[in-house]
Amino acid sequence: MNLAVGEPEEQIDDAAAKSRAAEELARRACRRDAGAWSEIFDAHYRSIYAFVRYRMRGAEEAEDIAAQVFEVAYARADRFDYRGVPIEGWLIGIARNLARDHIKKLGRHGYEEELVESVELSQPDSASAIDLRQDITVAMRSLTDDQQTVLSLRFLLDKSVAETAMLMDRSEDAVKNLQRRALAAMQRVLLATGYTARST
Amino acid sequence: MTTHRVDDFFGEALATGNIPKEATPAERAEVEQLLLAARALGTDRAQIDAEARASMPVARARFERFVAESRANAASVGAPRISRGGILGWLFGVHRALATTAAAVGIATVAVLALVLSQNVFTGVETASAQVLTPGDYVQVEGVVSEASGNGGERTVKVQSEFGAIDVALNAVTSVVNDETQKDFSSVKKGDAVLISGLVRPDRSIAAHSLAVAAQSGTPPKKVTPQLLKQLDSAVEGRIVVVSLAEDEVRASVVIDARGKQLIVPIEARSVKLLLQNGSTPVGGRVVVSREAGQPAGTFSIQFLGQGQPGSATANPGATRASGAPGASSATPPVPVHFTGIKGVVTGRAGAVLQVESAKGQTNVVVRPETRLVLADSGLLRDAIVRGESAVGHEVTISGAIVGERVIADVIVFGPKLTR
């Protein structure tokens, strides 16, 4: 058999096997199988943490919300429809809602002040590191929820445009459009804070 | 210039590192701006990933507890079964009738708490107690009972502490002591000044392991909102109000009352181990908080100055702390009560009971499933202890409740093996 023909078939087989494994994991998760949830936690905790980190005031708050995501998911496991929906997408959806509720509950104005203060006081390193984290946090917070989500998925979680589109339930063109607007808005804020001048 | 072309050029630049030559100057300029913003995000990724990795063990332990409690709740609703009450209980082979009863009561408690939990799963971390009580941590905290409800299998009490109200679950597993006499957990009532130790549950209530009741009633302390200490120019002295230690023995903190101001102080785990080794009840002790060179930002050291009642290593409810002593906090300690403390050497082990030789003689120390084992620099491995390692010859400092001639251990700090 020639490789040019064989490779796509192998890729299809591989993709099908992964899909079956993911579906089986999701079935077990729906049954609240402890082993399945252990796998899910190990596979996705760091992504969920990264996803919520910029929305929160500090590492402990991000840890708390990230942990809550798995607790909520486990509690609602029997309601999860695994057909065609990746578990990660479901977890990210829960994370978005929890983060939004959390911020709303704290009151946006006071929250943002505390957010900046926590960034200033929680950095272990140099002044430039403080500036960097603060600038990015301020820039991210200036975006809409969808814009934050698309940037987190693309540049913190390394999702492709196609994966991001699936996770956000949008077309790839819509994701590209959202991404461009989000980056442009972010860059405007970074420029205003002088970030680019310091980094170049 | 179309936005589609810019999107395509940006995608290609991300993949190859180069902006395609066919891009016009205007398109090139726009793509360069997009790349700058994307790179800024990427710059901070390593730091976020390091944070995520560091927080994972704690979050995982919290999630495992949540799953275990949910399953216990489901089991109690379906076909009631007697639980062994935890992995240590199972491994140590706790066969006492008390353990069986306690486990059954524990299931009922879990069922009630799980209901509370399911209603609070969306709660945030905005309350003062949420800043202090991290799920999974071992804590010691003092306060005054303001409400008590429930009878039979479990009792929930609301304790007014200096940083707000805390829900505390008591059941047959909880060692309730008053003047070294064991009491029934249902005897805890409104107005009791209490010292509690236990584990923080996901809903930030405390599952009490031990509760010491002071000889006299107390009045609820004035609530003060604690603030996280992030920077320190000079050393500060205060009285410990709360001690917490994470299961991984890495994260630890105390809340101190420094002249009426409450500070949450993240401390090095080494400091909290020394604190526990210095006395049975760090709460109420006077400490100095300082910064040492080379410490991570936001982490501090504490030096133990002593309890108000020197030498109060044994349970001594009713003792008065030296709140007026030089350097002591101006605040009035609300709970003059201590847990039992023993410092000695392990001379033997029979199942879940350690024989400890101390200045007071030979004492049997009961290790419960809930007992927090702090291995510190002992060289011991947790798995080995759980499997039956006797730890004979190791120094130990134990805090717990004295019941009859035994001590029900709440925390055991293992020290190095002594060479003779």
- H-helix or E-strand spanning residue A81: none
CA distance B113 to chain A (A): 14
What pLDDT score was predicted for residue B117? 34
CA distance A70 to chain B (A): 7
Rounded distance between C-alpha atoms, residue B66 and residue B201, angstroms: 8
Q: Which of B142, B134, B166, B125 lies closest to B257, judged by CA?
A: B142
What pLDDT score was predicted for residue B279? 62
Question: Which of A6-20, A109-123, B342-356, B375-389: highest mean pLDDT?
Answer: B342-356
Pairing of strands B261-268, B227-228: parallel
Chain A residues with beta carbon closer than 8 angstroms to that of B42: 155
Instruction: Tally the residues of chain A.
Output: 200
Instruction: Tally the residues of chain B.
Output: 420
The mean pLDDT of A124-148, rounded to a whole number, is 71
Q: Which of B376, B397, B249 lies closest to B313, judged by CA?
A: B397
Burial B250-271 (b: 16+ CB within 10 A, else e): ebbbbbbbbeeebbbbbbbbeb
Local confidence band at A154 (pLDDT 50, 70, 90 cut-offs): very high
Q: Tens of pLDDT along chain B (420 residues)? A: 677 888 989 988 888 888 888 989 999 999 999 998 898 888 778 778 888 888 887 888 888 888 887 877 766 544 333 333 333 333 333 333 333 344 444 444 443 333 333 333 222 223 455 667 887 788 888 888 888 887 666 778 898 887 778 889 887 667 777 766 667 777 888 888 888 888 888 778 888 888 888 777 777 777 777 888 877 777 888 888 888 887 766 678 888 888 778 888 888 777 777 777 666 577 878 888 888 777 777 788 888 887 653 333 333 333 333 333 333 333 444 445 666 777 889 988 877 788 898 887 888 888 876 677 877 677 777 777 776 777 888 888 887 777 667 787 878 888 888 765
Rounded distance between C-alpha atoms, residue B51 and residue B89, angstroms: 33
What pLDDT score was predicted for residue B80? 35
Task: With 0.80 as the threshold, say if the pTM is over it.
Answer: no
What pLDDT score was predicted for residue A119? 42
Q: Which of A34, A70, A183 sits opposite B37 (nearest CB)?
A: A183
Nearest-Cα residue of chain B relative to residue A118: B230
Chain B residues with beta carbon closer than 8 angstroms to that of A123: 297
Q: Which of B59, B124, B230 sits opposite A106 (nearest CB)?
A: B124
8 Å CB contact between B395 and B354: no
Chain B residues with beta carbon closer than 8 angstroms to that of A184: 30, 33-34, 37
- H-helix or E-strand spanning residue B140: strand B138-149
CA torsion angle B361 B367 B370 B371 (round to 10)? 50
Has residue A71 got a pLDDT over 90? yes
Chain A residues with beta carbon closer than 8 angstroms to that of B121: 68, 71-72, 75
- Residue with the larger pLDDT of the pair A8 and A177: A177
**What are B200's strand-pairing partners?**
B206
What pLDDT score was predicted for residue A153? 92
B-interface mutation test, from A155, A178, A179, A191, most B Cβ less than 10 A away = A155
Chain A residues with beta carbon closer than 8 angstroms to that of B52: 45-46, 49-50, 53, 66
8 Å CB contact between B267 and B300: yes
8 Å CB contact between A15 and A7: no
* Dihedral sign, Cα of residue A84, residue A86, residue A91, residue A95: negative
Q: Which of B27, B376, B44 lies closest to A190, judged by CA?
A: B44
